[in-house]
Amino acid sequence: MKIFNTLTGQKEGFRPLGDEVRMYVCGVTPYSECHIGHAMSYIIFDVARRYLEFRGHKVRYIQNFTDIDDKIIDRAATAGVPPQELAERQIAQYFSCMDALNIRRADAYPRATEEIPKIIEVIQGLIDKGHAYRTEDGSVYFRVKSDPDYGKLSHQDLDALQSGARVEVDAEKEHPLDFALWKAAKPGEPAWDSPWSKGRPGWHIECSAMSLKYLGEQIDIHGGGQDLIFPHHENEIAQSESFTGKEPFVRYWMHNGLLRLGEVKMSKSLGVLVTVHEVLERYTSDAVRLFILSSHYRSPLSFSDEGLEAAERGLERLQQAAGGGRNEDAGGKPPTIDVDAVRQAFIGAMDDDFNTAQAIGTLFDLAREINRARSEGVDVKPAQALLRDLAGVLGLTLAEREISLDAQPFIDLLVQVRTELRKEKQWKLADQVRSGLEELDIILEDTPKGTVWRKGRKQD
């Protein structure tokens, strides 16, 4: 399989360094609710991980929480709660969002505040090697001039980066692009002891430290949004490679395109965002996933209700084809669908840098074949199993909407009564029952084998 590597700007054949794929994805700073931009990124990497496993790899997947930083401190102060309490609350909220989207949990979620010793070890190592220096107030900065290939990930050199820089010049720093590894605490801020001052880690250093600690000096895949390429990931490379002396720190850098709202990217700082919570009130998690995976992960995607609606309808077709929860007898005729060919088409698409859009195309092709074969009395069980299997690689459950168990006997009863009415050709009354149930979002379908019903798409 091939993966597009941001570092080289090319698709490269993928081969893990060791027995298992070591994968690190930048997590969130838990200070506010997660939005669908987060959903997009984590769904994409969830699918990458699921697919790698589908292809027979063992994957070790690590994701961090930046549970201490300026924003958390500010926000906590405004809310009048301790920073850790705010972070804790938002982490819980994050998990509930991700779980709702059927995103599998990482193998570990290290937190910056719990990795201080490792962070200090890395910073000290960088100082010892001349890659970092302490300033008057006890902060420590990375010396970008000490890294000859600084800028290689964003394909810029120091001069180019500097010329467009909007960053303020700080008299403490040797170079404007030097960045904080350790920030000395101001009075009242959370702080940890260190050889340089009471303070807290800079934003970038935690990822290097955690990656080193949990995955080793060289890892296979490091992922995140394209907005993290500079400065975050650039700085991670500088720190990690300067510390270990080993290159490359990351063998495949993967970055997803950013979600847009209309014509601009969704962003916390711009205040334009839609929360996961809001989206899941209106659409199923399967639809959200299908919508996101319908375009290529490296392209920007515009959030739209039309797109979610389309995904929702398409999903219904996949559900129906997969069996739709109905109790149907297997057709009598032997299976005719070439499941191997479909599986290979799916793999062919996904092997090409996770081309989920094309892979989804193979799912719809399969759905059509299943429906056609089923109407001809062919046994479609194996094909349905494949459909569920492949959909599962994309994290689609194809689950029907559920209705409370309490209501089911009553619905069954009404359906039975209507069946009697239909036998007596009492169409008007029968139709009344059907439309009445439809009002309650119960959809009736009269099939040759009898009437079946399912939950519709109205919101509860």
Partner RNA sequence: GGCGGCGUUGCCAAGUGGUAAGGCGAGGGUCUGCAAAACCCUUAUUCAGCGGUUCGAAUCCGCUCGCCGCCUCCA
By beta-carbon proximity to RNA, the closer residue of 193 and 420 is 420
CB 154 to RNA: min, Å:
6
By beta-carbon proximity to RNA, the closer residue of 269 and 406 is 269
By beta-carbon proximity to RNA, the closer residue of 20 and 328 is 328
CB 350 to RNA: min, Å:
11
CB 235 to RNA: min, Å:
8
CB 334 to RNA: min, Å:
20
Distances in Å between the Cα of 337 and the Cα atoms of 24, 48, 328, 384 are: 39, 27, 18, 10
CB 245 to RNA: min, Å:
25
Q: How far is CA 130 from the centre of its chain?
A: 38
By beta-carbon proximity to RNA, the closer residue of 21 and 177 is 177
By beta-carbon proximity to RNA, the closer residue of 19 and 459 is 459
By beta-carbon proximity to RNA, the closer residue of 54 and 230 is 230
Q: Name which of 113, 132, 305 is nearest 201 in CA terms.
A: 113
Place of tokens 């500079």: 230
CB 246 to RNA: min, Å:
24
By beta-carbon proximity to RNA, the closer residue of 58 and 186 is 186
CB 15 to RNA: min, Å:
21
By beta-carbon proximity to RNA, the closer residue of 29 and 218 is 29
Cα distance between residue 50 and residue 226, in whole Å: 21
CB 26 to RNA: min, Å:
4
CB 168 to RNA: min, Å:
9
Cα distance between residue 388 and residue 373, in whole Å: 17
By beta-carbon proximity to RNA, the closer residue of 17 and 413 is 413
